[in-house]
């Protein structure tokens, strides 16, 4: 990240959440698409619906410039316990990490910018 950029402007835009071993040039259909908006009131994020492109707001989002922490919302109309945090470290032009759930450390993910 260029230090002249704000953290939010670096994150601003559409991203694909995929398995860590997925080639960057072969983004699979089975993925989660996210969008982040750098707004005057702060950074906000959402999951993009694959059916109609609508935005499903994230339950929480924090980005320090080095670490991204987000929590997805439960599907509409469903009561669910708090979902786990997705914790990712900034690595060059993407993020790498996984779910903050004991026993799921082996599921490695990456977040790459959509083109």
Please list the residues that pair with 27 across neighbouring strands.
none
Q: What is the pLDDT of residues 6-52, one digit of tens each?
A: 677 889 999 999 999 999 889 998 899 999 999 988 899 999 998 89
- Overall CATH class of domain 7-113: mainly beta
Selected residue with higher pLDDT from 11 and 104? 11
Structure tokens at 81: 């316990």
Measuring CA to CA, how many Å separate 64 from each of 26, 51, 55, 90?
29, 32, 23, 10
């Amino acid at each position: 990240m260029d230090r002249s950029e704000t953290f939010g402007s670096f994150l601003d835009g559409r991203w694909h959440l995929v398995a860590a071993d997925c080639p960057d040039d072969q983004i699979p259909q089975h993925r989660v698409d996210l969008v982040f908006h750098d707004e005057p009131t702060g950074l906000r994020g959402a999951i993009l619906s694959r059916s109609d492109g609508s935005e499903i707001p994230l339950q929480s989002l924090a980005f320090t410039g080095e670490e991204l922490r987000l929590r997805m919302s439960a599907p509409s109309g469903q009561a669910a316990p708090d979902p786990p945090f997705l914790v990712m470290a900034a690595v060059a032009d993407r993020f790498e990490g996984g779910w903050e759930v004991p026993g799921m450390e082996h599921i490695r993910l990456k977040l790459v910018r959509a083109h």
